[in-house]
Amino acid sequence: ELKVEQNPLFLSMQEGKNYTIYCNYSTTSDRLYWYRQDPGKSLESLFVLLSNGAVKQEGRLMASLDTKARLSTLHITAAVHDLSATYFCAVDATGTASKLTFGTGTRLQVTL
């Protein structure tokens, strides 16, 4: 059974600081997704990583995928308050994107 672990589960950081969220998974997969959720809102797609070594960046967020290590990272650069949300990674082991296995989520709180 595929397991996806995220850490940390909760992250409080000051504005302007850098930090990384880690996503480890237990079986072979080369498809990984990052989502953001604001309280009471839908999950918003941030990044789709489809191959080993994939790196994508959007604003202050950068995601990478190492399929050999079964690890993805979401790096936050110079955090701002607007980034406060819960971040989920999700892994697709089917190869068809038809069934995602989610991590527990990382709740990020950026303080002034």
Partner 1 sequence: EAGVTQFPSHSVIEKGQTVTLRCDPISGHDNLYWYRRVMGKEIKFLLHFVKESKQDESGMPNNRFLAERTGGTYSTLKVQPAELEDSGVYFCASSPRDTAGELFFGEGSRLTVL
For binding to partner 1 (CB under 8 A), which residues are involved? 4, 31, 33, 35, 40-45, 48, 50, 88, 90, 92, 96-105
Query: Between β-strands 61-66 and 55-58, what pairing exists: parallel, antiparallel or unpaired?
Result: antiparallel
Nearer to partner 1, 52 or 104 (CB): 104
- Angle, vertex CA 88, rays to CA 94 and CA 53, nearest 5: 60
Nearer to partner 1, 1 or 112 (CB): 1
Least Å from the CB of residue 98 to partner 1:
5
Q: Residue 33 pairs with which residues in a beta bridge?
A: 48, 90
Least Å from the CB of residue 103 to partner 1:
7
- Angle, vertex CA 15, rays to CA 64 and CA 63, nearest 5: 5
Nearer to partner 1, 33 or 74 (CB): 33
